[in-house]
Amino acid sequence: MYNFEEGEVILLDKPIDWTSFDTVNFIRALIKRFYGIRKLKVGHAGTLDPLATGLLILCTGRKTKQIEEYQAKIKTYTGTILLGQTTPTFDLESDPDAFFSTENITPEQIDEARKKFIGDIKQYPPKYSAIKIKGKRAFDYARSDEEIELKARDIHIEDFKLSTERFPELDFEVTCSKGTYIRSLAHDFGKELGNGACLKSLRRTRIGDFKVEDAWQLEDLKQHIIDTGEEFKAMKAAEEKGR
């Protein structure tokens, strides 16, 4: 049984088509309802886009103070980069805005481009991102066709592996610092090849020492909260009666 008020760190395997914000709200509502808690802090340590799956760290109660500590940890992602097209969002959440021929791209060119993204690099966030500019989210400017100036950020790519077996789809694994946008990495990789690319799929497998294999599936966590909620409320009632 979790003690959500005192504080818990919960590993969740976020499903596709859920925002990180929606996931937090869903879990908070479940806990409040089935544990009979009126007010409860719940937050997450690192946003995943709706089309991404994988490890999401949820913190409750006093453990929310540790969110920044978890956000700062090195992260590992797997996924697929699609060569030959670009999109406004740098992934498949939007329709393609340009197409490119991939016929003349060689495995050697791909490997040479890959090496240029390892180490300390500068990266521009996608214009469709939650980064704040003058108190407003970047995606709000983008959706209203307002021009904004995005500043490059210093990031670190510890490792970047690519497979060309399913070309023009490139399966990858990347280990990187806080603040890295994998969508931007895919987009910039296409530009480095003199081509176009976007992110087809993404899964976060690791945050520091936390692994997605140890995470709850959303439905299993939901059922666990429901199953243990009545027990928790009965225990609290007994404590109140004994005072």
Q: Which of the residues are catalytic?
A: 49
Residue 25: CA atoms inside 13 Å, Cβ hemisphere, count? 5
Q: Taking a C-beta distance cutoff of 8 angstroms, is the pair 198, 90 a contact?
A: yes
Question: Using CA atoms, how far apart are residues 138 and 147, in angstroms rounded to an integer?
Answer: 10
Angle between helices 218-242 and 20-35 (to 10 degrees): 30
Question: Using CA atoms, how far apart are residues 131 and 144, in angstroms rounded to an integer?
Answer: 16
Assigned token pair, 205: 């497998």
Question: Using CA atoms, how far apart are residues 64 and 42, in angstroms rounded to an integer?
Answer: 7
